[in-house]
Structures are given as C-alpha cells and as structure tokens.
C-alpha cells in the first residue's frame, strides 16, 4: 500500500515505515504529524484518485529530527569587470517516518 501526499508544497510517494526528508516542519522532535492532502491511494491494486484530494484519507508520520542539508555555494562573476560575489545556503530539513496510511 502506498500513497501520494502533498507535504509542505511537494508531492511524495510514501509507504509505511519509510523515512524521508521534507522541508522544515513546525513540529517538535518525537511529535506525531498528520497529513490530509492525499492525492492518490493504492491499496493492493485498488487505486483511489482524488479530485484534487481523496476524501477521508490521511497519512500519519513521526518527526525524527531536524537537520540542515549540504552547503550550496552560489558564485557570481562578470569577466573583465572585477565583479565577484560568493554566497552560501544550507536548506533546513525535517526527517520523518511514515507510521500509517488511512484510506
């Protein structure tokens, strides 16, 4: 059984006991989170497609940790002008574990 769910503006294909990284959620570590924006549910070949969401379906997950992604260096340069600019960015992520899918 799997579902396609919208989490923080991104769509993920999730299964039970799967761990994944999503954009930072405003929940504490160890807390349980429920996602109601389920777009598709596949229950052993029986597919339910929402328009736009499946009514009554939800995905529950547990927040494992908050962490930062790898550093991305943004370097800008214009040749022969003496212009150089360097900037870095580290994306904030939340690691979650899917506990169950309710169709």
Side-by-side strand order, sheet with 58-78:
19-23, 83-102, 58-78, 32-35
**DSSP state letter for 12:** E
Q: What is the pLDDT of residue 103?
A: 83
pLDDT in tens, 9-59: 999 999 999 999 999 999 999 999 999 999 999 998 899 998 899 999 999
Instruction: Identify any residues that bridge with 68 across adjacent strands, giving them in sequence order.
Output: 92
**What is the spatial distance between Cα 61 and Cα 66, in angstroms, rounded to a whole number?**
14
Determine contact, residues 13/4, Cβ cutoff 8 Å. Answer: yes
Q: What is the pLDDT of residue 92?
A: 97
Q: What is the pLDDT of residue 50?
A: 87
Q: What is the pLDDT of residue 84?
A: 98
Domain that holds residue 21: 2-102
pLDDT in tens, 48-88: 998 899 999 999 999 999 999 999 999 999 999 999 999 99
Our count of domains for the chain comes to: 1
Report the predicted TM-score, pTM, of the whole model to 2 decimal places.
Answer: 0.83
């Amino acid at each position: 059984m799997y579902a396609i769910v919208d989490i923080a503006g991104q769509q993920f294909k999730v299964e039970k006991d799967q761990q994944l990284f999503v954009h930072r959620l405003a929940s504490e570590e160890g807390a349980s989170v429920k996602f109601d924006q389920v777009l598709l549910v596949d229950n052993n070949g029986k597919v339910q497609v929402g328009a736009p969401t499946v009514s009554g379906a939800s995905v529950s997950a547990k927040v494992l940790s908050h962490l930062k992604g790898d550093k991305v260096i943004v370097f800008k340069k214009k040749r022969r002008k003496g212009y150089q600019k360097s900037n870095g960015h580290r994306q904030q992520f939340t690691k979650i574990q899917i506990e169950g899918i309710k169709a």
